[in-house]
Each structure stands twice: as structure tokens, then as C-alpha cells.
């Protein structure tokens, strides 16, 4: 899989990251995603959280995000990127429930397997399987 490397912090990262993120969104969903990312009064908290996570981690963004993953964020204002794929590291949305301590409980898991590569997903799945 070819991946776009996100820019390092301090290189106009916010606008570059948003441009790369929007380029990875399927064309049919791109307009709605852009509205949600740029106007907080329209919703899109989960999409902004995903964008911030990718920017802060300076991780890799796939060339194309799965449309079903993007659709979850478009349909569910409560979806947040709190799980990831153990194989490819793609952040995947869950519907977070009542918060207890620092971690949210999960009311709904949308992708028990990654829509990108088929790997298992879960809280910190990618980072917990990597050697220290």
C-alpha cells in the first residue's frame, strides 16, 4: 500500500495535512467532509479529531480512505477515532459512551476488522503489538 507521509510540524502542517486528508477522501464525499472540517457549527467533531490525530502523530495517511469509514463520520456525529488497526494503524471510529477516567467506554464498534486491510481493530491495537 502506498502511503502519503504527513508533513512534520512547523511546515504549514495544518493546511498541508487538511489538503492531504481531503485528497484521501473519496470524491463523492469530499465536499461534505470539507464543510464539516471547516465549519464546527455543522458537526464533524469526529472528522476533526481524526485530522488532528493524524497531524499530531505525524503518522501515515493512506492514499485513499475507505468510503465506508468516511460514511460513519458523516452519519454519526458521536463517532470518534478511538480505535486503530493492529496491522496498518488506520484510526477507525467507534461511538464513545460514558467516560470513566481517562478512557471512554465504547457503545458501538463500527469496524471489528479494518476496512482498509482486514486487520483486527481495537483500542491502541497498532501500538500495543509493536515491539518496544
Reported as a single tens digit per residue, the pLDDT across 17-56 is: 899 999 999 999 999 999 999 988 888 999 999 998 878 7
**Confidence (pLDDT) at 56:** 76
Give yes or no for a contact between 119 and 113, defined as CB atoms under 8 angstroms apart. Answer: yes
Q: Is pLDDT at 12 greater than 60 in this prediction?
A: no
Here the contacts of 103-106 (C-beta below 8 Å, separation 24 or greater) are 104/80, 106/82
Q: Is pLDDT at 1 greater than 90 in this prediction?
A: no
Amino acid at each position: 500500500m502506498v502511503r502519503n507521509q504527513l508533513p512534520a510540524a512547523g511546515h504549514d502542517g495544518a493546511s498541508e495535512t487538511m489538503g492531504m486528508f481531503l485528497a484521501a477522501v473519496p470524491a463523492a464525499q469530499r465536499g461534505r467532509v470539507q464543510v464539516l472540517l471547516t465549519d464546527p457549527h455543522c458537526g464533524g467533531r469526529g472528522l476533526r479529531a481524526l485530522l488532528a490525530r493524524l497531524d499530531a502523530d505525524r503518522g501515515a495517511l493512506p492514499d485513499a480512505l475507505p468510503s465506508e469509514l468516511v460514511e460513519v463520520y458523516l452519519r454519526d456525529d458521536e463517532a470518534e477515532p478511538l480505535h486503530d488497526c493492529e496491522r496498518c494503524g488506520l484510526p477507525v471510529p467507534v461511538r464513545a459512551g460514558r467516560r470513566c477516567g481517562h478512557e471512554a467506554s465504547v457503545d458501538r464498534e463500527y469496524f471489528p476488522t479494518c476496512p482498509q486491510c482486514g486487520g483486527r481493530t481495537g483500542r491502541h491495537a497498532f501500538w500495543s503489538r509493536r515491539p518496544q
